[in-house]
Structure 1
């Protein structure tokens, strides 16, 4: 059997399994029910300033088109860093540890906050297939301090990892703040998860003067084939003693208005965490994932004093090489005449303090 036929067979088998899994979850889950709004039609969420997700036909064209150029990743690319966080960080300092992909530990004002925590080996509905890790989490799970709050941006498997959320709940029982509808996904997997779901623009007090606001972002959501956009997606603005931190876990760029609006509503921003990976091929990924050039424009739009990169280098979700986002980010910063120290790339386990 040729490589292309094997890939096609594998994808069809995966889609069939996903369809069965989707039907199973659909039978168990309560879908979000709420009033119609400017981004919810009574059944599906949508971005009035965005684009709908690509169709199944377009997915097949990407996977099996004659022009596809998927770059191979090394099997394992370990980070030279591993963080052991302190129990708490007090005062007006913020400590940010990069766990990998879009996962962060933020410590400030005596609060420990995890962003999109993923400690699983794969980001997939299956334990035996799907994108797998190419490096270990930058913090060992057993080295985590007591977690108070978890922020989950949306329902894609590389951001909402129910296995990790269950482990966190068993060990720490944290609050889990997420956009509307994702609480149903969590509770369908583990009814003990303390999920709280909120709409765009909702501000939630986390304690000790720390608060978070969910803000619109240019993306979409699904767990299977039959629940597309049945849950909401968001970015976060975290209010800390050191200033506002704009956390974008996954987003396309569009015309940049999402980033400008975040600055207008929540600026000045001390720090922005911006995605730079999972962007090739552009015809397929442009509307949902920024490339490094887009990320540099997003930094200019939001006006943050400093930026950190995420959403790269851990799971191969798309076609670019593992080191392509970092190289391209340097080139984009040089072209925009922005110092490289203003937009920093960390390896898992590295730490920044502000």
Structure 2
């Protein structure tokens, strides 16, 4: 047996894992956090759950943008297109007799269907042209909605099918739907990145040319991520409608949504699922503390974005991960007993 064959045979016996004992405890902790959050409407005022709905909505959007840019290399400033389309999808489905809370989930399917032909156009662009092109596409969808009188045109419309519900019950249901959408977004991205497609996306992120030469279908991988991102942003748009009970094209299709997504991802850490959570917490805290300071609030956000981009290029979670190795969502493989130079390798003569 050759030395190379012996090394290969020994490598097959090396245990490789993704999750350790500490990760299992982390999973239990995350599950408990979700349970506590789900119980919150029974013990907290509606003002608290209302603010958490905004937080969960931003978390969903940021998770989708982080998946799109951090793993597929698709920097989009037009994901507000699917936020607006998701909101209007819930409104249209409500007109057809669909319960609005069910419509939030169906809005994901509607946005996925719309995103498929949209991707055929958007993927003809690359780099900066792709980013600008997605913004243009979002504006086109906004103008189409403005011209639709049945959906309220440029004046927007109200969602009236939830007006018969008790106010407290409606607030609780809205909160639970927002929580479910955020949890499904994180869980869906985690399962996607642990699949074979996730491995392909990692190779695309590291070196697209090398991934293509190794046989990875780069265009297919990017399209799947684009569709998943559209579905998540569409559900977030549906949450936006059922929480505010009113939709306006200039608000639903505002580029501020993409600006928020980008800020959260940059601060938290692009390419880390945990980065969306950390970035959302930071953004939400800054918003709550400094929102009443007018333009100073925007200046502070801009300063934080510059600091994050220059001094923390890996984001807060990226820096923490580099220093401590901490992870909430284990995606990388770990070798339990790595082979070293001192490890004897049996060689048959």
What is the TM-score with the length of structure 2 in the denominator? 0.25
Say which structure is richer in helix. 2
Say which structure is richer in strand. 1
Which structure is richer in relative contact order (CA contacts within 8 A, separation 6 or more)?
A: 2
